C-alpha cells in the first residue's frame, strides 16, 4: 500500500470530490479553475480544503445517524 498523501482510498470518488471542491470555492467567492491555481493564496486554498472536510464530516455523521 502506498503511504503517499496523494493516494486515494476510493479512486472512483475523485469526480465527486472535484465537484465539491469547485462548488465550495464558488460559495466562498474564490476563483478556482481547472488545472494550476498557483495564483491563489494558501489561506484561500485552506478555506476550500477546510470546508470540504467539514462538509464530508457532516455527511458521514448524517449517514451514521441514519444507520442506528
Give the start-to-end residue ranges of the domains of the chain.
Answer: 11-66
Q: What is the pLDDT of residue 3?
A: 56
Q: What is the pLDDT of residue 4?
A: 58
Q: Is the whole model's pTM more than 0.85, yes or no? A: no
Task: Yes or no: say if 32 and 22 are a contact pair by the CB < 8 Å rule.
Answer: yes
Q: What is the pLDDT of residue 68?
A: 53
Query: CA-CA distance, 30 to 18, in Å (whole number)?
Result: 15
Among 18, 19, 41, 20, smallest CA distance to 30 is for: 41
Q: Which of 7-16, 21-30, 49-58 has the lowest mean pLDDT?
A: 7-16
Q: What is the pLDDT of residue 20?
A: 96
> pLDDT at residue 5 above 80?
no
53: left (phi over 0), alpha (psi -120 to 50) or beta: alpha
Among 32, 31, 24, smallest CA distance to 56 is for: 24
Amino acid at each position: 500500500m502506498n503511504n503517499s498523501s496523494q493516494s486515494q482510498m476510493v479512486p472512483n470518488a475523485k469526480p465527486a470530490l472535484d465537484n465539491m471542491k469547485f462548488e465550495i470555492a464558488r460559495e466562498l467567492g474564490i476563483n478556482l479553475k481547472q488545472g494550476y491555481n498557483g495564483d491563489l493564496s494558501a489561506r484561500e486554498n485552506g478555506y476550500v480544503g477546510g470546508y470540504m472536510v467539514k462538509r464530508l464530516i457532516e455527511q458521514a455523521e448524517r449517514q451514521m445517524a441514519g444507520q442506528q
